[in-house]
Structure 1
Amino acid sequence: MKKYVLGLMFALISFGVSADAAKGQEYYLEYLRPYFEYNGQEFAEQHLKVEWKRYFKKDGARFIKKYSKKHPNAAEFLASDKFQEIAPHIKDFAVKYAADSGELPSCN
């Protein structure tokens, strides 16, 4: 019984801290699209799943470096605390709809 309760608690804790691709889609449209000017599908399909995962390692350092260079007008936002807050959700969105995912987001 103890193992069952501990397992359930672990599952609930893990679920509570996970990122959300749907939120990532909303955050992309609200915060990043004005800078990047790609629709959600164009953004996510720029890379494969494994590439997106690499870009978001170490607090998104590679993503910030690449997209700050590619879109200098976004550099300040990408360096902000707000971006760090939404980055896990953006990552989940990008991975879910990556070029090799076979899925299409329903956003423009």
Structure 2
Amino acid sequence: MKKIILTAFSLMLAFNASADVDKGQKYYLKYLRPHFEYNGQDFASQHLKVEWKRLFKKDSARFIKEYSKKHPESKEFLESDTFQKIAPDVKDFAMKYAADSGELASCN
């Protein structure tokens, strides 16, 4: 019985700790689109899934470097604590609608 309860509890924690595609889409539209000016689909389809994964490794260092260079006005936000908090969700959004995903984002 203890094993069942512990397993259920650990599964609940795992699901709560994971990022959220829908939140990522909302965060992209609210925080990043004003800086980047791409609609959600154009943003997400800039890279393949494996490329997005690489860009968001190590506190999103490569993402920050690439997009700060493309959009210098976004550098301050990309280096903020707020961005670090939303980055996992934005990553999931970008990966779900990546160039090689076969899915289209429904956000403008």
Offset of 1:80 from its aligned partner?
0.3
Kindly provide the amino acid, as one letter, of the partner of residue 104 in structure 1: L
CA distance in 2, matches of 1:67, 1:107: 20
Aligned to 1:12: 12
2:99 is paired with a residue whose SS is coil
Mapping for residues 1-108 of structure 1, pairs under 5 Å: 1-108=1-108
For residue 62 of structure 1, report the CA deviation from its aligned partner: 0.3
Within 2, Cα distance between the matches of 1:88 and 1:50?
Answer: 15
Residue identity in the other structure for 1:20? D
* Cα offset, 1:5, TM superposition: 1.1
Q: CA deviation at 1:9?
A: 0.6
What is the CA–CA distance in structure 2 between the aligned matches of 1:5 and 1:101, rounded to whole Å? 36
Aligned length: 108
SS of the residue corresponding to residue 87 of structure 2 reads: helix
AA at the equivalent of 1:32: L
Write the distance in 2 (CA, Å) between the matches of 1:49 and 1:6. 33
Unaligned runs of 5+ in 1: none
RMSD between aligned alpha carbons? 0.6
Cα deviation for residue 76 of structure 1 reads 0.3
Give the whole-Å Cα distance in 2 for the aligned partners of 1:82 and 1:76: 11
The alpha carbon displacement at 1:22 in A equals: 0.4
